[in-house]
Structure 1
Amino acid sequence: MEMSAIPASLVAPVEVSAEAYCELGLMHASGRAGAVNLVKAQTWFNIAFARGSARAAAHRQELALEMSRDEIAEALREARTFLTRH
């Protein structure tokens, strides 16, 4: 089947909600996504916060207490990169 035969509504990317990004952060913070990864968790919380999740803001602040400045900076860089591409 050619791409032109598929309706655009089925091909266009679906906008991911801020709460879905927040959930990704929780998965990385708790280890539900494999090993606990605070930088990845903080990255997703930053993205969720930027997209309007108030819940992510609270998680982001709480997690920052357990992270080094370098880890926080890395998470911010990764979030910025993601947000500029998506």
Structure 2
Amino acid sequence: MSRNIYLGRRVRDTGKKGLDNLREVRDICKAILRDYKRHRIPYKTAMRRLVFLRTTVIKRSEKLVGKKRKAYAIVREYEEQLRRLRK
């Protein structure tokens, strides 16, 4: 079972190597949120990773062509969840 490391945490790679489907985007977001809930990373780090995922990783992904708008929406949804958890 091969795994790639994304944003400092391990997420199982599905399909081709690298970020190539929306399921992986959602899994990465879930992993970041889970790390925050378990106090493994602070709020700033979690938010920084989500923003990095949205602005850099998705933007550069050639494999997500046509799915980038949905990927952005998924990350935005998890950013909102993180903000609500902080309150």
Which has the higher Rg, Structure 1 or Structure 2? 1
TM range (shorter): 0.3 to 0.5
TM-score norm. by structure 2 comes to 0.37
Comparing both chains, which one has the higher relative contact order based on Cα–Cα distances under 8 Å and sequence gaps of 6 or more? Answer: 2
Structure 1 or 2: more strand by fraction: 2
TM-score norm. by structure 1 comes to 0.37
Structure 1 or 2: more helix by fraction: 1
